[in-house]
Structure formats: structure tokens, C-alpha cells
A and B are shown apart, each in its own frame.
Chain A
Amino acid sequence: MITALRERMSGLKSFQRGIHPPHRKKYSESVPIELFTPESNLLIPMSQHIGPPCKPTIKPREEVTYGQKIAEIDHPISAPIHATLAGKTAMIAVTLLPGPGGRRCDAVPIKLASDGEALPPDFLAQFLDRNWDSVEPTSYDPEEIIQKIRAGGLVGMGGATFPTYFKLKRNPDQPVDTIVLNGAECEPYLTADHRLMLECPEGIVCGLMLAKHAAGAQRAIIAIEENKPDAIEAMKKAAQGRPDVEVMVCAAKYPMGGERQLIPAVLKRVVPSAPKGLPLNVGVVVVNVSTAHGIARAVVKDLPFTHRVVTVTGLGVKKPGNFLTPIGTSFKELIETCAGGVTDQALKVLAGGPMMGPTVPSLDVPVTKGVGGITVMIDAETMHREEQPCIRCGRCIDNCPLYLSPTKIAHAVKHGDYDLANQYDMQACCECGCCAFVCPAQIPLAHYIRAGKNEWNHIQVQRKAANK
């Protein structure tokens, strides 16, 4: 109650409801980005975006160079995949994905070339290169930007992995007037975006300007949570001299980084409910910090999406930090080489942060385009108690940023009544987990809703098949 009042008085950009989980960013927020080059093989999954998985375009035992395209599919909702290090491919394998539900997909293994040849020299310095001020976004043709973003294999790096080009493509029916750079990083523990904003703000701003030009937007907003004052400063400095850019300071509140919370917070526009409603419906496109950086690299330097900054953190690793990691590296090698390995108390390994990150059963999963962090939690950090009966305290309803009734949806899903769950707008849920966070009865509400959505989609597919 007091926090809500303080937020309202402070003039920070915010949204209604939501929660204040512990930040726990101190483990890794002051550790500069380091380059990580694995020594064992890469395993590059073919399904790293929302949409149908890519098909390999190379043969087994073929030499590939850094950045060479190795897979694509002819579908609008897709992004090609590139060799993230030079080497030689092997037979297609199957890998577990670091996502919910233990999904598996095909993957291309790459045996790395001998030392020093796998990656262009000075890769880290080049990645964090800060000389972007000379780039004039308007000198590019919007269509050219879109093509380059598509060829670069960029997807939303906040975790949704929606192909970036598709969001930015101009659509005469739904013009975009504002582009929002999502630097909220509201997920506890994670600091990858924070570090990137500190170490390469110019690149991010350049990518944002390119995206703005491509989408035909008139205005760009950089939204950062108040708990990253150094990043706010760096981004303000980098944005100086660029036209129509504004840095907005948001309250440090979860889930500020969700599109449906960020847009009302900075623009006071309400995005229609999922699954049909999109930010595009209100003339807004939200781009993640890392994605914007990738856009600048893809458009100006023609470099594909091969590496991303991954935060390895939590009390379960010995040396937390932020690592520039090639896609396809196994969690195991990244954690063991860079973060000093997991401690004996390590209990859970999350692909992402603790609010939305799914657990992985073992460390033999590859880093994909959507993995912004690996959180290794020990028992004392996390919570798992037995589910108790709902006492109808209404906290899940009071804290749901989408004004849903999580307890009602969960009850309906528990009893297999998906139509009732849909009456309570189950499909609109963004699975942020605020409801389960506040639940005094330890009911895994977000889990029930996720399960219900999956089951409902499954039923829809079956119904369609039966009607054919």
C-alpha cells in the first residue's frame, strides 16, 4: 500500500497492480561482459523462434564459417539460423530445448575449428564497439533494413523470440507511430540488458533509430527501470543528438518489461487482450535492448545474430557474471568454464529469471536466442511448499497486472472445465506469475493457467482435425 503510494507520488512511469519481488541483481550487475568461446562442440537447435522450426541448408560434415547461414524455412514467422562459430557440421541430432514442457527439436552439431579460427579476432571489442554516432538511419531504405534484419536471423531477445522483422515491417492498415525500447529488465537476477546498456549504449540507440525508421514511427521511447540509474545515465548520453528520442524512467516493478504493462506505463495506451490483441493495434512496437543492438549490427555491419549476452547468476554458481555466449553452447560448459561451476547446494537451473524462467532438468541444453540468463538457485533462495486450499483472499486478483481472476481460472482448469476458464479470459494471461508469487496458499496459479492454455490449444487442434 505504502509502496504503491510512493510510486504514484514519485512521478515514475508505472502501471496498475503488479508486484515487487526482490531484485537480487547485485550478484552480477557490476561484472563487465566477458567473451566466452567454448571448446567442445556446439549444438544449434532448429527451433529458436515462435513458428515452424528451420530446416538445415547444409550437409553433415560440411565446413562452415562464422556467420554462415545453416538453416532456414520459407515461412513469414521464422528467422534463419547461422553458424555461431566456424567449424565442421555433423549428423543432425536431437536436443532438449531450454523452454517449458521439455520440448525437443532437431539440432545441428558443429565441431569447432582449431583455436583462434572459430571467431573473428577482437570479437568482444567489435561487439561492444561504441562508434555508432556516424550512422545516419534515414540513409537506409526501410525495406533494406527489414531485409537485413530478416537475413540476420533476429528474434525478440526478451524471451518471446518473435521474429523481429515481422514486427517492424510496415503495414498500411496498422501504422506504427511509436517504438518503445524495452530496457526495463524487470525479471529479478538478470543483468544482461543492464550491462549491454552500460557498455554499448550507442549501438542500442542506433538500432532503435534504425527500427524506428524501418517501422515508420515518429517517436522513440527508451524505458528503463529506476533501479538502474547508471544505465539511465548512459542511455541518456547516447541518445543525445538523436531526434525524437526520449528516455523515460519507470518504477522498478514486476512485470514492467511486459509489453502490456510497459505500453500503458509510458504511453497510457491499452493493448487489447491476447491472443488476438497486439501492441501493433495501438500503433506501438516494443523492441528489447539486446534486439536493438542486434539490429544495429545486422543492418550496419551485416553481422548475423550469433552471440548474445547471457547472465549466469544465482547462489548456485560460484562466480556469477555476464557472458557474451555463442548460440548453441551447452549450459554446462558455460557455467563450468565461466561461472566456476555449480555449487553442491544447487537445486534448480532456470533458463531465464526466477519469475518466468522454466527449469531445465540437466545442464545438457544449448543456449538459444531467447535465453537471456541462466539462474542457478539453491534451496534457500526459492520457494516450494505444499499447495493448500484457496482461502479466497483475492491477492491474485488484486495483483494481476491484466486484471484477471487467476484463482477462478485455476479452479476451472483443475476441474478440466476449459470453457469456464475461457469465460474468465484464460487466453489473455501473460503468465507473468504475479498471482503465484503472492498466493498465501502456495497454489501454483501460473502453472495451472499455463497448463490450461496448452490443453485448450491441444483441444482446438483436435477439434480442427476432427472437422476436416
Chain B
Amino acid sequence: MSDAPDAAKPIPLPVKDAGPRGFLVSSAPHLASGATTQRIMFDVVIAMLPLLMVAIYMYRFSAIVLTVITVAGCLAAEALANKLRGRSLASLSDGSAIVTGMILAFSLPPAMAGGSKFYMAFIGGVVAIALGKAVFGGLGNNLFNPAMVGRAFLMICFPAVMAMWTPTAKMLPEETEELALSKGVEVSALTQADVDAITTATPLYQAAKVSEYVAKANAEPEKAEKYQQKANEIRDKMPGLWRLTIGNVGGCVGETSALLALICGLWLVFRGIADWRQPLALLVTVIVFALITNAINSERFAGPLYHLTSGALMFGAFFIATDYVGAPVNPWGRLIFGAGVGLLVMLIRVFGTYPEGFMFAILIMNSLTPLIERWTTPTPFGGHVEA
């Protein structure tokens, strides 16, 4: 206003008449909510602890080994990056590297902990922080979700291990009997090593196979019966909804129990740490997509509940898609982001060659984030400022 010409001239501070006692000069507001980056990160860690407990119950030692190794890898990379950039190591304590490490560990197959393969997990952790975060300028500047970058790197370097699924320690009795029969020993004589050595199919892999066989049966009518039989065989082996919900199925370390992931995720939402928009949009998209495909061909495509409870979906919806940095900040942008992830996950699951597509969906939507933000710049309450 009319004060501006005055303000333009710098006025020297009144040193002479500053009074006997000076007070701190700072900008309003002088109160803060008390939220800190560190507290947010540790709240996320706390929310993931129950999932880790279940993972330990299901996969025993493998879960702990993987988590410790990836977190160590992340912290080491963060420390190294800070050293190289001439910064203090203070950022190690903000907890973001620990969150990245845990999410990465939770999205790795437990088989990676076996034998001498655990160095892969360490590499994954290092790459997640180094190539996923540090190269962009550290916390807050990364374009992609670091944990997903680390996982993608492992998927390229060690595709065989990344597709090796061990059954849970809590197998069903008939499965244990089957295993004992194949080994030619009594059930009581089975060791943990025997269990670890076998591989199993993830529910999503089974669903993808069913879908493939049904498609083939439709394409080649002369062999229809054979394919149909194969599909039915797999379908019989597919776990029921309850097993999926509690997580007693093969899969990644932390992605098995959909119910617990949902509970922990909701806790994060109520704590105000995770936004409700990404999970809601994501889950709704997945349900709608599954309902439509299931309605078109219920033999070939699994229903919405199967999709919701299997794979990384529930864990990812609340813990990966809600990652702040790679997702848009605008409210509508977050809805679009969540819906986009949901759509891509379902496209990859249903029509792609990979049984699970959460990682790709996140990385693709991360790359679209700047564009989404441009579309969804919020309109101020009273409309845009008139020029």
C-alpha cells in the first residue's frame, strides 16, 4: 500500500536506543503444533512393527534378518551420501532411512534371507537411498519412492530370487503332510530347513495362472478341456479368503496379512500421518476394476476381495502410496494419484505378465506427479487473485 515507498528505503536499526535489554526478534507464528519430521517417521515405524511381528511369526528368522540388513544398508548409504555432500550426519536421526529400509524389507521375498543371498538385500537398501534419494538432493527432493527404486533394482539384478516364494512357517496340516510325503519322512521329522527349501506359488501368481489357462481354453477350443482342468487344479489350491486376510500365504515379508495392514494403516490415518485420500482412491479403484472384470468373466478373473487381500495391495495402499515425497501434495492430486496406482496395479495384475504390479504402479505414478500437481493446483477460497 502507501507504506511501500518507505519500506523500500532500508532504515538502520536503532542500535543507540535499543534499551537495556534486547529481546529475540523472530517471525510469527510463535507457536507450533509440535509435529516434527522425526516424529512422523517414527510413527510410521511404529505402525509397521505389528506387521513385522506377524512376518516374524510367519517366516521366523528371515523377516528379522531382511529388515535389519536393508535398514543397515539404507543408513550406510545415507551416511555415505551425507559425507560425500559435506553435510552433517544429523539427517540419519530423522528416521526416513529407517522407514525406507523397512518398506523395502517388507516388499522382498523371505527367500532372500536364506543362504548367502542376504547381501542382495543390503545392496537393495544402499541403492534405495543412494539412487532413490541422495542423488536428487536428499530428503524431500526425491522423485521416486526410494524403497520402490531399491526393489526395482533388485528385480533387474536378481530376478530369480525376487520370484522365489517360500511357504509360511504356519502351513496347513495337509500341506505339511504333502511335503513330508515328497521327502519320504514322517511329519515330525521335517526340519525348518526342509520348509525353507521348498518354494510355493503366491496367491497372485495362482490367480494369474488361472487367468492364463482360462484365456487359453477360450482361444483353443480343441484343448479347452485340458486347460480347464489345469485351471481348476490351481483354483483348488488357491488359499481361501480367511488365509489371505490373516496372511498365512506365500508372499513378501510384510505384505501378507491384509487385515493387519489395514488396521495399522487406519491407525496411521487417524494419527493424521497418512492421508486418507490415496488409500481410499486406490482401494475404490481396485474394487471397481475387480467387480467389472469379475462380472465379465468370473471364471477367469478373481473377485475384488481376492485382490484386496492378496499381494502388496493393502500394505501398499497405506504405507507406500501415502509416501509424502513422491506423491502430489494437492488434495485432488492425491486422489488422482491413488486412483492411478489402483488402476495400474489392476492392469498389471489382470493383463500383464507380472502377477503383482504395485512397484511399477508406484514408480509410474511418481513420474506423473509433477503433471498431476499442475492439473490440480487448488483454487483459493475466494477465487484466484485478480491480476
Instruction: Give A contacts to B, CB under 8 Å.
Output: 1-2, 16, 19, 21-22, 50-52, 77, 96, 100-104, 188, 260, 264, 270-277, 332, 342, 346-350, 354-364, 375, 377, 381-385, 388-395, 397-398, 401-405, 407-408, 422-428, 431, 433, 436-442, 444, 446-447, 450, 454, 457-458, 460-462
Known contacts A398-B331, A428-B385, A454-B7; is-contact A391 B139 (Cβ 8 Å): yes
B294-334 vs A, Cβ < 8 Å mask (1 yes, 0 no): 00000000000000000000000000000011010111001
The distance in angstroms between the C-alpha atoms of A395 and B138, with both chains bound, is 20
- List chain A residues, Cβ under 8 A from B13: 102, 361
19 additional A-B residue pairs with CB within 8 Å, beyond A50-B3, A96-B14: A16-B381, A21-B29, A100-B27, A277-B386, A348-B30, A350-B30, A354-B28, A354-B30, A359-B24, A360-B25, A361-B22, A362-B23, A389-B140, A391-B324, A403-B379, A437-B33, A439-B32, A446-B28, A447-B28
Indicate which residue in B3, B21, B30 contacts A382 across the interface (CB closer than 8 Å). Answer: B30
**B116 adjacent to chain A (CB < 8 Å):** no
Instruction: Give B contacts to A, CB under 8 Å.
Output: 1-8, 11, 13-14, 17-19, 21-37, 39-40, 94, 96, 138-141, 269-270, 272, 275, 324-325, 327, 329-331, 334, 377-386
Tell me how far the C-beta of B377 lies from the nearest C-beta in chain A, rounded to whole angstroms.
7
Known contacts A358-B28, A440-B36; is-contact A51 B385 (Cβ 8 Å): no
Known contacts A361-B18, A395-B35; is-contact A424 B377 (Cβ 8 Å): yes
Known contacts A96-B14, A389-B138; is-contact A377 B381 (Cβ 8 Å): no
Question: In the complex, which of the residues A384, A425, A426 has the most CB atoms of chain B within 10 Å of its own CB atom?
Answer: A425
Contact B381 A450 (CB under 8 A): no
Contact A355 B40 (CB under 8 A): no
Q: Which 6 pairs of residues, A with B, have the shortest CB-CB distance?
A: A433-B29, A362-B19, A273-B382, A447-B27, A383-B32, A389-B140
The distance in angstroms between the C-alpha atoms of A363 and B14, with both chains bound, is 13
The distance in angstroms between the C-alpha atoms of A349 and B36, with both chains bound, is 25
B269: nearest chain-A partner, CB-CB: A1
Known contacts A273-B383, A438-B35; is-contact A450 B3 (Cβ 8 Å): no
Known contacts A437-B31, A440-B35; is-contact A273 B25 (Cβ 8 Å): no
Contact A461 B5 (CB under 8 A): yes
The distance in angstroms between the C-alpha atoms of A358 and B280, with both chains bound, is 41
- List chain A residues, Cβ under 8 A from B40: 391, 393, 440
- List chain A residues, Cβ under 8 A from B32: 383, 436-437, 439, 442
Contact A425 B380 (CB under 8 A): yes
The distance in angstroms between the C-alpha atoms of A308 and B361, with both chains bound, is 62
- List chain A residues, Cβ under 8 A from B6: 103
The distance in angstroms between the C-alpha atoms of A8 and B83, with both chains bound, is 50
Task: Tell me what chain A mostly uses at the interface: helix, strand, loop, or mixed.
Answer: loop
Contact A392 B28 (CB under 8 A): no
Contact B140 A1 (CB under 8 A): no
Contact A384 B329 (CB under 8 A): no
The distance in angstroms between the C-alpha atoms of A401 and B382, with both chains bound, is 11
Indicate which residue in A362, A458, A462 contacts B21 across the interface (CB closer than 8 Å). Answer: A362
Question: Would you give 12 A-B contacts (Cβ < 8 Å), ordered by A?
Answer: A272-B383, A346-B23, A354-B30, A362-B23, A364-B18, A403-B379, A403-B381, A404-B380, A439-B35, A442-B32, A444-B27, A458-B4
The distance in angstroms between the C-alpha atoms of A194 and B321, with both chains bound, is 46
The distance in angstroms between the C-alpha atoms of A14 and B383, with both chains bound, is 20
Contact A428 B329 (CB under 8 A): no
Known contacts A389-B141, A394-B334, A441-B37; is-contact A404 B8 (Cβ 8 Å): no
- List chain B residues, Cβ under 8 A from A408: 329
B373: nearest chain-A partner, CB-CB: A408
- List chain B residues, Cβ under 8 A from A332: 19
The distance in angstroms between the C-alpha atoms of A276 and B383, with both chains bound, is 11
- List chain B residues, Cβ under 8 A from A375: 30
- List chain A residues, Cβ under 8 A from B30: 348, 350, 354-355, 357, 359, 375, 377, 381-383
Known contacts A276-B386, A390-B140; is-contact A348 B378 (Cβ 8 Å): no
B139: nearest chain-A partner, CB-CB: A389
Known contacts A332-B19, A397-B329, A458-B4; is-contact A402 B26 (Cβ 8 Å): no
Tell me how far the C-beta of A456 lies from the nearest C-beta in chain B, rounded to whole angstroms.
10
Contact A401 B381 (CB under 8 A): yes
Tell me how far the C-beta of B123 lies from the nearest C-beta in chain A, rounded to whole angstroms.
26
Contact A458 B8 (CB under 8 A): yes
Contact A273 B384 (CB under 8 A): yes
- List chain B residues, Cβ under 8 A from A392: 140, 324-325, 327, 329
Known contacts A96-B14, A346-B23; is-contact A405 B39 (Cβ 8 Å): no
The distance in angstroms between the C-alpha atoms of A425 and B272, with both chains bound, is 26
The distance in angstroms between the C-alpha atoms of A354 and B31, with both chains bound, is 6
Known contacts A52-B2, A103-B7; is-contact A355 B23 (Cβ 8 Å): no
- List chain A residues, Cβ under 8 A from B5: 461
The distance in angstroms between the C-alpha atoms of A424 and B1, with both chains bound, is 21
- List chain B residues, Cβ under 8 A from A384: 24, 26
- List chain A residues, Cβ under 8 A from B275: 394
B271: nearest chain-A partner, CB-CB: A1
Known contacts A402-B382, A425-B380; is-contact A391 B37 (Cβ 8 Å): yes
The distance in angstroms between the C-alpha atoms of A357 and B30, with both chains bound, is 8
Indicate which residue in B17, B34, B324 contacts A394 across the interface (CB closer than 8 Å). Answer: B324
The distance in angstroms between the C-alpha atoms of A403 and B139, with both chains bound, is 26
The distance in angstroms between the C-alpha atoms of A274 and B139, with both chains bound, is 34
Indicate which residue in B141, B325, B327, B385 contacts A275 across the interface (CB closer than 8 Å). Answer: B385
- List chain B residues, Cβ under 8 A from A436: 29, 32
The distance in angstroms between the C-alpha atoms of A377 and B25, with both chains bound, is 12
- List chain B residues, Cβ under 8 A from A349: 23
Question: In the complex, which of the residues A349, A391, A398, A405 has the most CB atoms of chain B within 10 Å of its own CB atom?
Answer: A391
Contact A383 B380 (CB under 8 A): no
Tell me how far the C-beta of A255 lies from the nearest C-beta in chain B, rounded to whole angstroms.
10
Indicate which residue in B27, B96, B382 contacts A428 across the interface (CB closer than 8 Å). Answer: B382
Tell me how far the C-beta of B35 lies from the nearest C-beta in chain A, rounded to whole angstroms.
4
Indicate which residue in B4, B19, B382 contacts A271 across the interface (CB closer than 8 Å). Answer: B382
- List chain A residues, Cβ under 8 A from B334: 394
Contact B329 A104 (CB under 8 A): no
- List chain B residues, Cβ under 8 A from A439: 32, 35
The distance in angstroms between the C-alpha atoms of A50 and B2, with both chains bound, is 8
Known contacts A51-B1, A96-B14, A272-B383; is-contact A437 B29 (Cβ 8 Å): yes
Contact B4 A461 (CB under 8 A): yes
Contact A362 B22 (CB under 8 A): yes
- List chain B residues, Cβ under 8 A from A425: 380, 384-385
The distance in angstroms between the C-alpha atoms of A394 and B275, with both chains bound, is 9
- List chain B residues, Cβ under 8 A from A271: 382
Contact A101 B7 (CB under 8 A): yes
- List chain A residues, Cβ under 8 A from B28: 100, 350, 354-359, 431, 433, 446-447
